[in-house]
Structures are given as C-alpha cells and as structure tokens.
Chain A
C-alpha cells in the first residue's frame, strides 16, 4: 500500500510540474494566478477516460473549495477566518440564519486548509479573492441577499455533483474516504441552503422547477452533462430514474418526484468547469 501511495504522489507531482512548464505564460493575474488554474485545466480527454491522478482530483476539489471559500468569505458578514477582504459588500443576511452561513463559511475554509494540507507541496498555489468574479461579468450581484442565496445553492449543489463525479477515479482509499467525508458535508450545506430558500432539501428534478429565471438561472447545475472543448460529459440530469440499469417506478409508497430526489447525480469536469467558468478569472481552460 505504501508503495502505491508513493507512486501516486510521485506521478501526481510530475504531472503538475509538467503542466506548470507547459503553461508558464503570463495572464491577467500574473504567473501565480495562472498556475493556480492549472488543476482545473486537467485534460478533459483524460478525465473522460477516468485517468486523472489522485493529486489532480484533489487539486480540482481544492479549486472548487477555494471558489466556495472566497464566496462565503466575501459575502457572509462577521469576523473572517481569512486575512484578505475582497472587493464586495457582504450580503445582508438575516440574523436568524446568519449562524448557518457562518458555519458553512467556516467549513469551506477548513476544507481548503485540509485539502491543501493533504496535498502539501503538490497543492496548487492559493487562490486569492481577486481570482474570482462573483458577478459573473455583471450577471449577478450577490451582495443582494436573494442573489447570494441562489449562488450559494448553486455552488453547494455543484460541489456535491463534482465530488461525486470523481469518487470512482480516486485510487488511494484514504483519499477516497476523505473526499466522501467532504462530499456529504457539501450535501448537508446544500440542503440547509435550499431550505432557507423555501425549497426542499433534496433535488426534485432537472431544475426546471426553479423560479430562478434569467439572468439568475442556476438550472444548468441540475441538468445533464455539457460539452466543453469537444468533450462531452455523459452525466445524467437530476431527473434520472434509472440506477445501475434498474428503472425505478412509482408505487403507493413513492411518486416520480420522490424517486428522482432519492439519488443525487454526478457531474464530470467539463460541465463543472462550464458552470464555474463565469466566476473565475481567467477561465478554466
């Protein structure tokens, strides 16, 4: 087992290093920020074939955690666990639910620290608040509480789907258990945020039930896999009712909506990158 872990670590380090060399160009945010984006740029082709290394996957997760962490650090008021205040005005979050969002903010900061710690020298460079544009080019204004909630729900449910999409690709059992233990916490967050919005904690279908009309739609979070750079993510929409080849039909105990809610679906990297891209400077490659 030790040999395997070492082998994985070495392989991962080499992969990261080679991408650094290949992509050592100057971008909008300078070399540091560009390097930070690399894990998200892991080859779609490779991921489609489930060939990403554990290090790549953990850095992919870390990138998502940086995004979530930065979002809550900037929009949830209160004493921050991070030293870098962002450019945004915090949302006006009602006192009744502020402890929930402060708890979520703390969890995301812990996930960042945990994953960065596990990865050690293989971790991507820290992503500062300036690496993110939470207005998505002016489409959202998350300082507005309702908009904040919509994005929070979208990020959390995307996180659940993104972790789920990688579980089967992780080879080290210790990493797998850790990833699963983060994955379920993201699901706890997602459910709680949905409840605050007056929705069920569980996902009833492909998102078309949501009243989040343009330009604030987060429906793609719940839909099937998208194509990016010519690579198609085969993930199914949250309305899927067939699991492992077994189609589940309504009975007197449950209806179609409840069947759809009973299973959360995964997302591959192509779709996750498409969803996250508008919020990341520069894009995720």
Chain B
C-alpha cells in the first residue's frame, strides 16, 4: 500500500496520518497531532528535499508566503482542469473557482517575481504538489479542502505579520490576506449557507485565528513532496 511514497518516508507517513484523521477534519485540526510525530517522521527524509525557511529576515517570510501560494495555485489549477469540474459544480461555482485559481496564480507569480527581484539567490524552488489522496470528483471534498487551504492561508499571513520588518512587505501581505479571507468566506458559504469560515476559525472575540509558521508548514507538508521546515534559532 502506498508503495510509490514509501521511499519518500516522511511524506507518506504524514499522508497516512492525515488520512486517518478524516477528510472532514481539515489540515489545521491535524496539524497539532502531526507535530507530535515530527521527530520520528523526519528521520527518513531526504535532506535535499528539505526546504528551510529562515524567519530571521523578510526574505524568509516572503518565501513562506510563496510556498503557500504555490500550493494553493497548484490546488486550484488542478480543480478547474479536472474533467468532473463542469459536472460537479454549477456555473456560479465554476466562475468562483476559476477566479480563485486566477488570484492564487497571480499571488504565486508575484512572489516569484518579487523575491527574485529582492534576493534572487535566496528564493525557494518550485514545490512539487501531491494531491494523490484527494478525490477531485467529489464536490464536498474539493470545497472542504479549498476552505482548509484558504483558512490556513489567512491564519498563516495573520501569524506571520509580526515577523515582517519592512512596512512595504507587511502592506503587501495585508493586501493579499484579505483576498484570501474573501475566498475563505465565499467557499465557506458554498459549503454551509451563511457561513463565512470553517467552524472554530473565528474565535469568541470575533477574531480570525492566527497560526504559527510551524503549524502551518506541518499542515502544508501533507500536500507537497518536499518538506518545509523552519530554521531553528530564529525565534519562530
């Protein structure tokens, strides 16, 4: 079982673990559980596939955003290119998902250009998404994972804001995070009428939940072949 991924070590076991956590649970719910297993999971990881994010400088934070946008862009590109896309989604939903796919592609392309411009030698490579566990033929599965990615993105940007020292970069992150929040809201409404977020995403004070970079990369790692990690000793 899962022989294709067995040699990859960590990613396969993460996917299995996530799968057991249940599709409806979502990445965030699984994140804390996964983190506890990290030390053993990472034992077999090919070091060359490890992408370390250095939060001690702004380029590291930009790379973090770039990684997440790549993942989102790849997800929606696959969603809208599936043969079942036009049969499981109505015209309005198709338009929404095509728009979101376009926005995420814009974000990913922008970060690639921005980081290349700012620090070409430090840009992370293109990621290799792995959605092999996702059944793209099921409307609810696609929308639930879309909501998970959007809420993950919102929580990631909100949690990373305080690490950004350059005000211009912080502003750009702010320009993007509200668009991710718009996506999250609309997708949530497609799943549950009148909902604007997944259950528990907005706290008792009416605030979105921010997430630490560690929790976010752990969640994201379930869907990429490489392993994102946070450089130790950077106060994150």
Chain A residues whose CB sits within 8 angstroms of the CB of B168 once the complex forms: 168, 244
Tell whether A177 pairs with B158 under 8 Å between CB atoms, given A108-B206, A246-B110: yes
Given A103, A177, A184, which contacts B162 in the complex, CB threshold below 8 Å? A177
Tell whether A180 pairs with B182 under 8 Å between CB atoms, given A164-B175, A262-B176: no
A246 touches B171 (CB 8 A): no
What is the total number of residues of chain A having a CB less than 8 Å from a CB of chain B?
57
Whole-angstrom distance between the alpha carbons of A261 and B105 in the complex? Answer: 12
A248 touches B106 (CB 8 A): yes
Tell whether A164 pairs with B161 under 8 Å between CB atoms, given A184-B177, A185-B202: no
Chain B residues whose CB sits within 8 angstroms of the CB of A96 once the complex forms: 193
B202 touches A99 (CB 8 A): no
Closest chain A residue, CB of each to CB of B108:
A253
A265 touches B (CB below 8 Å): yes
Tell whether A248 pairs with B110 under 8 Å between CB atoms, given A176-B162, A188-B184, A254-B105: yes
Whole-angstrom distance between the alpha carbons of A251 and B105 in the complex? Answer: 10
What is the total number of residues of chain B having a CB less than 8 Å from a CB of chain A?
53
B159 touches A (CB below 8 Å): yes
B29 touches A (CB below 8 Å): no
Given B179, B204, B208, which contacts A202 in the complex, CB threshold below 8 Å? B179
Chain B residues whose CB sits within 8 angstroms of the CB of A167 once the complex forms: 161, 170-171, 174
Given B99, B161, B170, B172, which contacts A258 in the complex, CB threshold below 8 Å? B99
Tell whether A114 pairs with B114 under 8 Å between CB atoms, given A188-B181, A248-B109: no
B113 touches A (CB below 8 Å): yes
Tell whether A201 pairs with B177 under 8 Å between CB atoms, given A178-B207, A185-B206: no
B182 touches A243 (CB 8 A): no
B206 touches A114 (CB 8 A): yes
A192 touches B105 (CB 8 A): no
Chain A residues whose CB sits within 8 angstroms of the CB of B169 once the complex forms: 244
Which residues in window 206-223 of A have CB below 8 A to B?
none
A103 touches B158 (CB 8 A): no
Q: Per-residue 0/1 for A112-139: is the Cβ within 8 Å of any B Cβ (1 yes, 0 no)?
A: 0110000000000000000000000000
Whole-angstrom distance between the alpha carbons of A97 and B183 in the complex? Answer: 19
Task: Output the least CB separation between B27 and chain A (Å).
Answer: 18
Chain A residues whose CB sits within 8 angstroms of the CB of B167 once the complex forms: 50, 168
Task: Output the least CB separation between B168 and chain A (Å).
Answer: 6
Given B99, B157, B179, which contacts A180 in the complex, CB threshold below 8 Å? B157
A182 touches B179 (CB 8 A): no
Chain A residues whose CB sits within 8 angstroms of the CB of B99 once the complex forms: 200, 202, 258, 261
A sample of 16 cross-chain residue pairs with beta-carbon separation below 8 angstroms, ordered by A number, consists of A111-B207, A168-B168, A177-B162, A184-B181, A184-B208, A187-B185, A188-B208, A189-B185, A190-B182, A191-B186, A192-B185, A202-B179, A248-B113, A262-B107, A263-B172, A264-B175
Q: With A191-B183, A253-B102, A262-B176 given, can you name 11 additional A-B contacts, CB distance below 8 Å?
A: A99-B194, A106-B206, A182-B206, A185-B181, A185-B196, A189-B185, A189-B196, A246-B114, A253-B101, A261-B99, A262-B107
